[in-house]
Amino acid sequence: MTVLIGLRCKDGAVLACDSQETRTNYFRFWHKVNWVDDNLVVLGAGNLTLSEALARRLGDKLREVKGEGPIEREKMIRIIEQTLLTLAQEIGEAGVKERQLLIAGRTDKGELCLWAVDAGRSTSGR
């Protein structure tokens, strides 16, 4: 079982997760923290290739929209949602079902944001 935690603090955030992939009678170290850039990180539980793919695609999308002006909270939410929906359509329901993601970032204006995504439901926080 993977444990993910994200806490918003007065001067930043604390993110943590374990690093063990556990399957029946099989254990190994697995990197569960995926840095998108200096201001965005994705932590994943369940199918770890989903969090890796999400981080890679978010990085691509952020580089694509970089010249369109500052990325604020609402714009980041749209980018994350669109990227997740595209991935879900490509890999199918089984690839997304029972997957949990924790995404933390700082907007261009310095606002700290944490998002928890669980099997198609998204809760965004400030």
Query: Could you tell me the two tokens for 26?
Result: 């099989």
Cα angle at 19 between 17 and 24, to 5 degrees? 120
If one counts the domains in the chain, the total is 1
Q: Which two tokens stand for residue 73?
A: 């909270």
Taking only the tens place, the pLDDT of each residue in 77-89 is 999 989 988 888 8
The pLDDT confidence band at residue 64, using thresholds 50, 70 and 90, is very high
pTM, two decimal places:
0.77
Q: Give residue 92's domain range.
A: 4-125
**What CATH number should be reported for the domain holding residue 54?**
3.60.20.10
